[in-house]
Amino acid sequence: MKIANVETLHCDAGWRPWSYVKITTDDGLVGYGEYGDGRNPWGIAGCVRDLTSVLIGRDPRAIDSITTELIWIGRNNPGGVFQKAIGGIDAALWDIKGKALGVPVYELFGGPTRERMRVYWSHCGTSRARHWKLLGTPPLKTYDDIANVAKVVMGRGFTAFKTNIVIPGDPARVYGESFSGGPGGVDRNTSQEVVEQARRLIATFRDAVGDKADILLDLNFNFKTDGIIKMAQVLEPYNLLWLEFDMYDPEGVLQVKQASEVPICTGECLYTARGYRRYIDLQCSDYMIIDVPWNGFTESKKIADYAATYDINIAPHNFYSHLSTYMSAALCATVHNVRIMEADIDDVPWKDDIVTEPPEIKDGYLILSKKPGWGTDINEKELAKHPWPK
C-alpha cells in the first residue's frame, strides 16, 4: 500500500471555511483529516502541498515515521500553520490505517475507554448573536431572549453549555476585542462595564437553568491577567464548570488559578507536547484543552497522556465540522482523563449533509461510532455544493 495522491478540500461553513486533507492510496483507500483554522486556510493548504512530495509513494501505515519526518522538515517553523498541516495529514493517515485494518482509530490505541462521551453545546448564544439570520433563530434583543436560549439547550437534552460575553441588543453583539482593533494592536484592559456585562449574562443563564446544567465561559484572548482575575472573582457565586481564556504565559495562568475559586481552563492555542509541557508541569490550569485537528491525533494523545501524569483532565477543542467531532471523540475514547467534549450545535443547515454519517448525540452524550477509521467520510458531492470561497 502506497500513498498515491494528497489533496486539500474546502467547504463554505457560513462565517468561515471548513478544511480537510484527503489522502488516497494506490489500492483505493481514502483517508480524511480535518485541519481547521478559518483564518489561514490557504496558508495551511499551501503547507500541505509543500509536504506532498514527501508523502507520495510512502506506506501510509508508517504514521510515526512520516509525522516525525514532517516535524523535522518544519523544525524552523514549529507550531502554527505548519503544525496544522501536519495535524491534518496525521489524521488522514490514521483514518486510512483504521480502514485498512477494519477497526475504529481508537482501537489502535487500546480503546475504547468509554461507549459515550458527554458534550457541551458550544458558542451558546454567541453564534445566534452574530449569525441569527443564517441559523434561522430569533435575535437576542433582551436578557429574556438569552434565558430562552438556555431553555432550548436544556430542551435538547444537553446538561452543559459554553458561551462568550454575549451582549443582547438590536443588534446583539459579542465582546471580542482580541478579534478586532486597529493599528497598534488591541486594547485588552478590563472595564467595570464589561465585567458587569459578563456577570449579568452568567447570572441570566444560571437563573434559567438552576443547578441542572454546567455553564462555561470563554474569554478568549480578550483580557490581561489582572482583568481575568477580576472576572473570575466576580463570577465565583455562579458555580461555573470552568472559566476559559487564552494566554501564552503559563505563570500568568497560574496567577489566575491561585486568585480565585473558579476552575480554570486553557490550552486551545498550544501546539505539541513540548508546547504544553510548562503549563502541565506548573499545574497552572484545572483543565487543559487540546485541539485535535491542529495538533494531529498522534500528538494529541501524547499531550493527554502527559496531563494524566499530573491527574489533569483534558477537553477537546472542537468548533469545526462533524469530522473533527469524530476525531475528538476518538481521543476521548483512548484516554481516561477527559472531562467533557465541545461541539457546535448551532451551525449551517448543510453541516450534516457533508458527511456520510452525522454523529449521534443523545441526551447530551455523543455515542461512540464502531465503524472503521473515524467512523464517517466526507460526502464530496455535497461538499461541492457549498464551495469556498463563495
Calpha distance 186→182 (Å, rounded):
7
| CATH number for the domain that contains residue 278 | 3.20.20.120
Q: What are the φ/ψ torsions at residue 304 (nearest 5 degrees)?
A: -60, -40
The total of structural domains in the chain comes to 2
Q: Is residue 390 part of a domain?
A: no
Q: Which of 290, 219, 288, 225 is nearest to 260 (CA)?
A: 225
Domain boundary, last residue among 82, 104, 126? 104
Where does a domain end: 86, 104, 122?
104
Q: What is the DSSP letter of 248?
A: S
Gyration radius (Cα) of the chain, Å: 20
Whether residue 171 is found in the same domain as residue 237? yes
Tell me, what's the pLDDT at 7?
Answer: 98
189 — alpha (psi -120 to 50), left (phi > 0) or beta? beta
DSSP 373: B
Output the pLDDT for position 186.
Answer: 58
Retrieve residue 170's grid coordinates: 438590536
pLDDT on residue 178: 57
Q: pLDDT in tens for each of the 390 residues of the chain?
A: 999 999 999 999 999 999 999 999 999 999 999 998 888 999 999 999 999 999 999 999 999 999 999 999 999 999 999 999 999 999 999 999 999 999 999 999 998 999 999 999 999 999 999 999 999 999 999 999 999 999 999 999 999 999 999 999 999 999 985 555 555 455 677 899 999 999 999 999 999 999 999 999 999 999 999 999 999 999 999 999 999 999 999 999 999 999 999 999 999 999 999 999 999 999 999 999 999 999 999 999 999 999 999 999 999 999 999 999 999 999 999 999 999 999 999 999 999 999 999 999 999 999 999 999 999 999 999 999 999 998
Q: Do 262 and 243 form a contact (C-beta atoms < 8 A)?
A: yes
- The label of the residue with cell 462521551 reads 117
Beta bridge partners of 338: 314
Residue 311 lies in a domain: yes
221 CB-side CA count, 13 A: 14
Calculate ∠ Cα 279-283-289, nearest 5°: 60
| Residue 257 sits in the same domain as residue 338 | yes
pLDDT at 280: 98
Residues in Cβ contact with 254 at an 8 Å cutoff, skipping those fewer than 6 apart:
282, 284
Residue with cell 489582572: 226
In a domain, residue 301? The reply is: yes
Is residue 87 included in any domain, yes or no? yes
CATH code where residue 45 lies:
3.30.390.10
Give per-residue burial for 354-363: e unless 16+ CB within 10 Å, then b: bbeeebebee
Residue 112 shares a structural domain with residue 100: no
Contact between 364 and 160 under an 8 Å Cβ cutoff? The reply is yes
In a shared domain, residues 55 and 8 = yes
Q: Are 129 and 243 part of one and the same domain?
A: yes
Angle made by CA atoms 145, 163, 341, in degrees to the nearest 5: 130
Q: List, in order, residues 6 or more apart from 244 with CB less than 8 Å away.
A: 162, 216, 217, 218, 219, 264, 265, 266, 268, 289
Cell numbers at 87, concatenated = 495535524
Residues 136 and 219 both lie in one domain: yes
214 and 88 inside one domain: no
Parent domain of 27: 3-104
The predicted structure's pLDDT at residue 107: 98
Q: Are 214 and 159 in contact (CB under 8 A)?
A: yes
For residues 81 and 144, state if they share a domain: no
Domain boundary among 71, 104, 137: 104
Output the CA torsion 75→294→18→66 (10° steps). 60
Q: How far apart are CA 45 and CA 48, in angstroms?
A: 5
Query: Do 362 and 274 have their domain in common?
Result: yes
Answer yes or no: is 372 within a domain.
yes
The answer to whether residue 388 sits within a structural domain is: no
Q: Which three cell numbers stand for residue 100?
A: 485498512
Angle between the 225-234 and 250-259 helix axes, to the nearest 10 degrees?
30
79, 146: one domain: no
In a domain, 206, yes or no: yes
333 inside domain:
yes
- DSSP letters of 278-299? HHHHHT--SEEEEEHHHH-HHH
* 84 shares a domain with 159: no
Domain match, 72 and 208 both: no
